[in-house]
Chain A
């Protein structure tokens, strides 16, 4: 079946540094990828929609200058958390839409746990 990978799976960084998270669709071309964030004991919240070759669409309340999204190819989207702070510590998950699937299924990556010290 379709697989979406994320790298790294865990990252610990110092406050003020930037962290890049990669999301790859391994066996299909994803024109659209979504980035979600999950706070402890809360639901997944959509941060932004990433479309290949165009600017990402950010949800209300998400700082586009802090969470930089690049969808440079049909199989790769990156999320860069710039000048990370402890409150950015969270679980970040991407999903990729498979337009070729009969049911327009989205596949989720395994997630990246970010800890900012």
Chain B
């Protein structure tokens, strides 16, 4: 059973525009969430995190929003750049335990 879902396998966005990547989860015990970026044949690179006590966390061009009632989080990238093209994974955990990953969304930023 997939506890973390990313329903969009791919997304294309024009350079300079906003990229919005979505993630849904089913386990109400999850209280810590991460977004990772992954290039082919490389390990994941941590992007941004959010704990359940917040509903928004911002780091430069990256903002993560958490809607606990809807069990939904999203990653906004503004403005999108060609170097942002990669696969993005969201992950969730109950503090101290393993992370559950979504299946990833492949983002392509078109110059």
A residues apposed to B, CB below 8 Å: 6, 34, 36, 42-46, 49, 91, 93, 95, 97, 103-111, 113
Contact = CB atoms under 8 A, between A and B. Distances in A.
B74 interface: no
Interface in B41-67: 41-46, 49, 51
B98 interface: yes
Interface of B: 2, 4, 32, 34, 36, 41-46, 49, 51, 89, 95-96, 98-104
A43 B34 CA distance: 14
B46 A108 contact: yes
A107 B89 contact: no
A108 B36 contact: yes
Contacts of B89: 43-44
A91 to B, nearest CB: 8
The main secondary structure of chain A at its interface with chain B is strand
A16 to B, nearest CB: 25
A44 B32 contact: no
Contacts of A91: 41
A105 B49 contact: yes
A40 B36 CA distance: 17
Contacts of B100: 46
Contact of A113 (B41, B96, B101): B41
Nearest to A10: B41
A46 B32 contact: no
Please provide the 9 A-B residue pairs with the shortest distance between their CB atoms, ordered closest to farther.
A111-B43, A110-B43, A43-B103, A44-B101, A43-B101, A108-B44, A46-B98, A108-B43, A93-B43
